[in-house]
Amino acid sequence: MTLIKTNYNRRSFLKVSAAAGGGIILGFNWLVSCTPSEKQLAQMPEEWFNINAFLKIGDNGIVTIMSPNPEIGQNVKTSMPMIVAEELDVDWKNVVVEQAGLDTQKYTRQLAGGSQSIRQGWQSLRMAGATARRMLLEAAAKQWNVPVSELTTAGGMIKDKSGQSISYGEIASAAANIAVPEEVELKDPKDFKIIGQPTKNVDGPKIIKGEPLFGLDYYEKDMLIAMIVHPPAFGLKPKNVDDSEAKALPGVKDVFIINSLPDGIEKQWSDVNAFPELVVVVGTSTWEVMKAKKALKIEWEEVTPGENTEDYMNGLAALMDKAPEQADRKDGNPDDAFKKATKTIERTYTAPFLAHNTMEPMNFFAHVTADKAELVGPIQTPEYLRKTLVETLGLPEDKISIMMTRMGGGFGRRLYGNFAVEAAAISKKLNAPVKLVYTREDDMTQGTYRPAYTVKYQAAIDADNNLIGFKVRGAGINGSPVFNNRFPAGAVDNYLAENHSLSSNISTGAWRAPSSNFIAFAEQSFLDEIAETVGKDPIDFRLELFDRAKSNPVGTENDYDPERYAGVLKLVKEKSGWGTSKPGVSRGVSAYYCHNSYVAQVIDLVMKDDKPVIQKIWCAIDCGIVVNPEGALNQVEGGMIDGLGHAMYSAMTFKEGNPNQNNFNNYKLIRMSEAPLEIETFFVQNGIDPTGLGEPSLPPVAAALANAIYSATGSRISSQPFAEHMGKEKVMN
């Protein structure tokens, strides 16, 4: 049993009130840790009563828990309320979850990104449930005139030693008058009844029935449909529009040019948009507007020169031969180690731009009038969207409401809300309710891509086959992919990390597991090559490095725990039967740390018609306590399949700034028949507080695949997509 304080001095985390009609409302801080640092405490206001969420216990015993975080498919709308319900000790079937809209007076970090929702909310969510339970117990003890210590709870009921009982609903109103306790007891994880149990998605029945949940489902009477035409190439903007034919079509209301991000406004980090000047078509139906788009005759003018794929790849390659003015991390004397080495290895890895390709294209509803704005749609960063709208609409924050819908995918794309800003600008111009809808082609060619990357690795090996030096130099479009303090930093005496960045007018942004999605492939492929060179098993070689990082680490800035890192490797080694062989089956291994979690994977594959067929993936994960195993498996398996598909097939390429891919006929995603035949996942049971899960399974899987392909073919893959290097006509059919 763990004691946890419910407030610190006068900086309260909780506020209680009676519910209208009977019951109790408990306001609590959804995402702020209950064990803040001294610095955090100093920054809190003296009176902190802007309560950030609530749970409500009605007089009928139904518990309502608000979910303020955007639901992007990561299932936080289910798992976060599960944590509250666990400590409250209520029957899950009596819990109702409701999606909250943007409200910075009540909620903090209404954001979906970084795999941080469960990690950051773990303590405060538990505290909220435990506090409500304690207050209900005290109310019952007072009513029965018995000590609280003689009472127990289970399934939303309170009992005493004599056997009398009362439901939470019956005592909830009385509990609203109980003072918030200074500290409460949290359950021992071994006593969890809800956490750790496979639990169905709270939106599952509505999804199955096709009830409106997503932005594309949203409808309001008299709303218009808007679509955009952005320039065909990066570096262009609209000059003239001949809309005479389009306007003559049935249902078309207007055609015009807007600038959704005019000069002079204060932009947010989320305002990434290469095409703020757009041609807009507005009409009464989607089909009518799509026909009108095709009828437009638009003249474009060049603002900046368009780039070719060869241009930026050559630019990145040139940076691999150029040392930056200062290293980002340097341990020991790397140059001296390479001079003394008896063997050196060098390999350069590359990856292209990638589109996000969410199943639901970008869309948003907006109704802007002279004195207020109402917006509804799928957005990962509603608070930052509103800040931009304050600038572009000239309205105060309290006159702008944003309601989040469930998202049909995000993968980082919906961190950047340009489509919602566009919807608001269109509505303002028309003084009418409007839903902006992107076509798949609009979505894929608009930008905000995963950047193209290049990284060069070098290893120095002595006469005894010891790794004595390690260098990594990375470059990317608008940022480098290298994490200076990640493995094998801390495990090699002489280590060097360097970074470059190349500017481009092609817009870039976060893509599932930013930077890690590429660098894990490169790093883990190179470590396998080193292991082979020194004549060691690839898992044993990594474990030796982790032993060094654990017993005698180099440097103090290493951002991983070598014991936990080694733990997932040992687990996947055991579960996969690593070291055994099967005729015709080749194996590859990979392990990576990101988003505070550790993942190791082993892939078994066979080559069929020169194409890799994945027989099985074993995956070991250390992400602390798993709140909802069903949702966790969905995230892990989906992440691996997503990573495999993009590593094998996907790329955005450009000719004079014009994207060469605009739909799934020329941008391939993995097909059902190409998914692994079997996946087996193992979670480390260590009782540690939860860490990230939505992204960590994706980065290492590309390296496990590349290492398995090398085992099968004897050819190392250093560039994505893999299909281009394996006989494209055979792989892509």
Specify which residues 655 forms β-bridges with: 658
By three-state DSSP, how is residue 499 classified?
strand
In a shared domain, residues 691 and 719: yes
Local structure of residue 652 (DSSP, 8 states): B
468 and 584 in a common domain: yes
Average confidence (pLDDT) over 6-22: 64
Ranked by mean pLDDT, which of 109-113, 265-269, 725-729 comes out on top?
A: 265-269
**Are residue 242 and residue 123 in the same domain, yes or no?**
no
Q: Mind listing the pLDDT tens digit for each residue in 149-168?
A: 999 999 999 999 999 999 99
Cα 48 to Cα 7: distance, rounded to the nearest angstrom = 10
Residues 61 and 147 grouped into a single domain: yes
369 lies in the same domain as 348: no
* Residue length of the chain: 733
Sorted by sequence, the CB contacts under 8 Å of residue 288 that are 6+ apart come out as 225, 249, 250, 251, 252
Residue 228 resides in a domain: yes
Query: Which of 415, 437, 459 is at the close of a domain?
Result: 437
Final residue in a domain of this structure, among 414, 437, 460: 437
- What does the pLDDT read at residue 50? 34
Is residue 647 domain-resident? yes
Averaged pLDDT for residues 577-597? 96
Mean pLDDT within 690-698 = 96
Average pLDDT over residues 209-226: 96
> Can you give the pLDDT at residue 106?
73
The reported pLDDT for the residue numbered 42 is 44
pLDDT per position as a tens digit, 172-182: 999 888 888 88
The CATH number that applies at residue 109 is 3.30.365.10
Domain presence at residue 199: no
Which residue has better confidence, 457 or 112? 457
DSSP lists the bridge partners of residue 366 as 375, 434
One domain, residues 240 and 369: yes
Q: What residues contact 444, with CB distance under 8 A and at least 6 apart?
A: 355, 357, 652, 659, 661, 662, 663, 667
Q: Are strands 400-404 and 373-377 parallel, antiparallel or unpaired?
A: parallel
Range of the domain at 47: 2-194
The predicted pLDDT at position 170 comes to 93
Q: Are residues 658 and 531 in the same domain?
A: yes
User: At which of 391, 414, 437 does a domain end?
Assistant: 437
pTM of the predicted model as reported, rounded to 2 decimal places: 0.93
Six token digits for residue 301: 């003018």
pLDDT digits (tens, 9 = 90+) for 511-549: 999 999 999 999 999 999 999 999 999 999 999 999 999
In-domain check, residue 420: yes
Predicted local confidence at residue 69, as pLDDT = 85
Q: Distance between alpha carbon 490 and the CA centroid of its chain, in Å?
A: 27
User: Is 313 a domain residue?
Assistant: no
Whether the predicted pLDDT of 12 surpasses 70: no
- DSSP single-letter state for residue 507: -
**How far is Cα 321 from Cα 458, in angstroms, rounded to an integer?**
12
Q: Is residue 11 part of a domain?
A: yes
Domain shared by 401 and 504, yes or no: no
With 50 as the cut, is the pLDDT of residue 52 above it?
no
Same domain? 57 vs 100:
yes
* Beta bridge partners of residue 203, listed in sequence order: none
* Contact yes or no for 591/491 (Cβ under 8 A): no
Long-range contacts (CB closer than 8 Å, 24 or more residues apart) made by 389-393 = 389/420, 389/421, 389/424, 391/265, 391/266, 391/267, 392/260, 392/261, 392/262, 392/265, 392/421, 392/424, 392/425, 393/368, 393/424, 393/428
Number of independent structural domains in the chain: 3
Q: Quote the tokens at residue 620.
A: 């070991």
The verdict on residue 396 lying in a domain is yes
My answer on whether 490 and 539 are in the same domain is yes
Give tens-digit pLDDT for 387-428: 999 999 999 999 999 999 999 999 999 999 999 999 999 999
Mean pLDDT of 703-716: 97
Which residue type sits at 251? G
- The reply to whether 167 and 58 lie within a common domain is yes
In this predicted structure, the answer to whether residue 731 has a pLDDT above a threshold of 90 is no
Q: What per-residue confidence (pLDDT) applies to 7?
A: 57
Per residue, the 3-state secondary structure of 250-299, as one string, reads CCEEEEEEEECCCCCCCCCCCCCCCCCEEEEEEECCHHHHHHHHHHCEEE
Residue 13 in domain: yes
Label the pairing between strands 54-58 and 63-67. Answer: antiparallel
The tens digit of pLDDT for each residue in 411-421 reads 999 999 999 99
pLDDT at 6 over 80: no
Q: Which of 22-36, 497-511, 531-545 has the lowest mean pLDDT?
A: 22-36
pLDDT band per the 50, 70, 90 thresholds, residue 30 = low
Which of the 8 DSSP states describes residue 258? E
pLDDT in tens, 294-322: 999 999 999 999 999 999 999 999 999 99
Answer yes or no: do 657 and 713 share one domain: yes
Range of 63-67, 581-585, 616-620 with top mean pLDDT: 616-620
